[in-house]
Chain A
């Protein structure tokens, strides 16, 4: 113990006497450990940590697919039939997260995400409430369903953690609801839904019987001992029965039963794993960099080690001392690395919460500390092993020689050079991925949207249906608000839409054009359906191509047949073999005179950022009779086109809304550009992280390269001095140094390319690579890396060229 403490004391003293070595090594380790720990924390919280539910292994998500193969949620009648027929589930719950509710709290109205579900929802998760109870069987039925369960966050934030909250009556959407209970901290479902309130389904009567309306998701708890395969077979049989009973709506629908954990990580799992590899690559770079630094330092310490050997230190004892020194360095690196990890996670917090289902659970915790400890221990062992083995074998005879170091051996030169090649190779891989991601993101952000995204301000207006019972929300709220907003200075146009482009899509229905032959069964024949006010088209910059726009004058709700405008994508999808959509009818009623007429065709805009424009039919919001509007349009998004800074309009819009109805919560408006950025949050997070890792990797490689060349120049001072004395020009000295660097860089880059190609499948989960398409970008990155390497060696090369030959020869 005493000798270990002595080694430690000696190490600290040595580090104090070589501060630049100590700082470089500790920073290098800290960067590697910090980044790896931060990424582990993300992977732990999202992929490894058990879900906060009892029997999580038995919870499954039945994903339903339409006949054309795309994801299509459940209809309520299909769900109820399946729930009755399936015998492999202890509970199969239906839920929807589409709506928000307005809670009239003590500090004013607040809009909360609502999880509307069937009565057996909480049975699936088996989590006991913190206070009160959850739903009893039948509490999703009309008359018994005005009850609510609070999430822990809502209980804390909106009810100040009052323990007597159970049994209290609160107003949700203007209607009284009794609070049944409070869920414990950490419970939430769906996992990405935070600050939620849980209420029973409250399905609209229309949806109760509509088999073609697919809007409900399900989650189920398997009976004990039931396998996934058995449950899948049970589902297949049930879906076959449903298709037989309801061929029009259920034919061809299939289900894919997934374990909950798999379903949650379906999209983020592979990219996160790749991110884990990137973090390990960075840690490897840090590790070989430190090994290189220790090797270089070892050359300076040969005499010390020779002396230690001469006075009786065995190899094991010297190795132990070297490892103690390395562990001391890594302990400092660990401390700083944890700080870096904390900073990284703090900086990524907004991204994590928005991009990952369990992003809010990402914290630096004990497992992360454990992994950081393990990583730092392994890194220090790996980094110190080569130098320790080498130094422990120092010939003790060296102690007898006066003032002479053997200098690095050829094998050591080769080892350090191979370290540099390895670092450059890994940097090349990370740079390639980061470069491609950045290019993809940049190209997505500059995608032609069809409107000036920075100038369009949007805010969702969600009214409380109970407060509008018997009222027409268009006449009493939406239109008066539009009138006020339209007259504000700087407003060019304003309108409402029920589903804002980019933010959401998938509100669609199967469509058939009257007169066309029946479509093949596996063809996707859906068209997005939107309800708008006339000003919406101007606000978004959507132009009329043919026919006419919708107007309340020409298209009153009293007309027995509806009217729509369609977009160009609609024409491409439903009139691919020719014909004019304007004047055509949608086959949505048995009676010819009641079929909806297409009156105009407008330009496309993207509904989903990652897909080309989809076929869309736009109805006037006033299409619904006034008595139905509160059910059909409880929430609309206001779209305002501004001629100046849209931010200037936020306060006037809020005032206008609250002048009309002060009970409606005002949701902070976002420009369409912000909506686009929000929709790319996962891409941005990936980009940000890979960019940081690539930057650090490049920095560490260049530090390593600089260190190697600097070290070589120092050791070869005499040689270089002699060469200059014998007639070599200074330029030639510089050229020789750069030639060596070029060789190392070329080796590293070639190896990096090899690695990139070999890892293409893994990297493909993050970014697709196409040699021909990406050649210019990748060549540019390669050139940039090579030039950066040469630039890093210029200083030592210049120092080599300015060596005074007389001084160098004398000093030996």
Chain B
């Protein structure tokens, strides 16, 4: 089912990203078109170096595109300055990282509270309520005073999810959220994401694991900086002349 621009939470057109190092130009993304609807759960996959993380960085406003359009929640965000991007990241986007990225010197509560401390005008009581709600959603409310080092990997990632949720973002961007977890904890995190989706969250997840990608409503495949259909991707990967190393891995 096609999503119109007005229905999209994320709408990107002809998005390109070129990295310049010395005299070499690397085209990381080449003319990407993508729409993600509100409440949708999308998985992005593809081989190493295909541009997944670059695309996620741009979607999360951690990076800016070289060309093309990017509309988030109806606002053009492709060419904002650093401060404006920081503000939108804080209010519209929740990140879940592969390596959890919890701050070791902050407690669980403080880690989840962190994005809220960067918002002006929010009362302490409201902040506390939001943090506790988020922790309850990921079943970690009983560990508020613990430090990350006192938690297992799965628990740390749940706290990271709570942090992503605490700001009530428009979209959760997850970068290989199970990459640093064993299969049991990985499954638990995927279940959690499904629960959040069922509650109405919009999720965009990068993963290279087809089992986890299958949890999403829609899968997007990237290859050499372009979005390709699943069949096309398999064909490309099967061609040893095109990508021998990836083929061998597969």
The interface of chain A, by Cβ under 8 A from chain B, is 2-3, 6, 10, 13-14, 17, 303-304, 307-317, 395-397, 399-400, 402-403
Contacts and interface: CB of A to CB of B under 8 A. Distances in A.
B144 to A, nearest CB: 15
B114 A400 contact: no
B103 interface: yes
Contacts of A314: 82-83, 86-87, 118
A109 B115 CA distance: 79
Interface of B: 53, 56-57, 60, 62-63, 82-83, 86-87, 89-91, 95, 97-99, 101, 103-106, 110, 114-115, 117-119, 124, 163, 167, 175, 179-180
Nearest to A317: B118
A312 B91 contact: yes
A6 B87 contact: no
Nearest to A399: B101
Given A14-B105, A403-B99, A313 B118 contact: yes
Contacts of B180: 402
Nearest to B160: A307
Nearest to B90: A312
9 contacts: A310-B60, A312-B91, A312-B115, A312-B119, A314-B83, A315-B86, A317-B118, A400-B62, A400-B97
A395 B83 CA distance: 13
A620 B53 CA distance: 104
Given A303-B101, A314-B86, A400 B118 contact: no
A403 B176 CA distance: 14
Contacts of A396: 62, 89
Top 10 A-B pairs ranked by shortest CB distance?
A312-B90, A311-B115, A314-B86, A312-B118, A396-B62, A307-B101, A402-B99, A13-B105, A397-B62, A312-B89
B95 A399 contact: yes
Contacts of B91: 312
A66 B8 CA distance: 100
Contact of B110 (A6, A308, A316, A317): A6
A310 B95 CA distance: 8
A758 B163 CA distance: 58
A531 B175 CA distance: 99
B62 to A, nearest CB: 4
Contacts of A395: 62
A311 B97 contact: no
A311 B117 CA distance: 10
B83 A399 contact: no
Contacts of B110: 6, 10
A14 B56 CA distance: 31
Contacts of A6: 110, 117
Contacts of A308: 114, 118
A503 B128 CA distance: 76
Contacts of B97: 307, 399-400
A297 to B, nearest CB: 13
B86 A313 contact: yes
Contacts of A403: 99
Contacts of A2: 117, 124
A311 B134 CA distance: 16
A316 B83 CA distance: 9
Nearest to B94: A311
A311 B85 CA distance: 10
A403 B110 CA distance: 22
A308 B110 CA distance: 12
A400 B53 contact: yes
Nearest to B114: A311
Nearest to B101: A307
A10 B147 CA distance: 13
A604 B178 CA distance: 95
A303 B101 CA distance: 8
A312 B86 contact: yes
Contacts of B117: 2-3, 6
A307 B115 CA distance: 10
A4 B115 CA distance: 15
B127 to A, nearest CB: 8
B86 A309 contact: yes
Contacts of B63: 397
Q: By CB atoms of chain A within 10 A, which of B57, B60, B62 has the most? A: B62
Contacts of A316: 83
Contacts of B98: 400, 402
Q: By CB atoms of chain B within 10 A, which of A10, A17, A312 has the most? A: A312
A400 B57 contact: yes
Contacts of A17: 104-105
Given A6-B110, A400-B56, A304 B103 contact: yes
Nearest to B124: A2
A304 B104 CA distance: 9
A310 B106 CA distance: 17
B88 to A, nearest CB: 8
B99 A311 contact: no
A619 to B, nearest CB: 83
Contacts of A317: 118
B139 to A, nearest CB: 22
Contacts of B89: 310-312, 396
A13 B106 CA distance: 8
A310 B89 CA distance: 7
Given A13-B106, A310-B89, A312-B89, 20 more contacts: A6-B110, A10-B110, A307-B103, A308-B114, A309-B86, A311-B115, A311-B118, A311-B163, A312-B91, A313-B118, A314-B83, A314-B118, A315-B83, A315-B86, A316-B83, A396-B62, A400-B56, A400-B57, A400-B62, A402-B99
A552 to B, nearest CB: 89
A396 B83 CA distance: 12
Q: By CB atoms of chain B within 10 A, which of A2, A304, A311, A314 has the most? A: A311
Contacts of B167: 311-312
A280 B62 CA distance: 43
A311 B90 contact: yes
A541 to B, nearest CB: 73
A13 B110 CA distance: 12
Nearest to A13: B105
Contacts of A307: 97, 101, 103
A6 B128 CA distance: 14
A304 to B, nearest CB: 5
Contacts of B106: 10, 13
Nearest to A393: B82
B86 A10 contact: no
Nearest to B113: A6
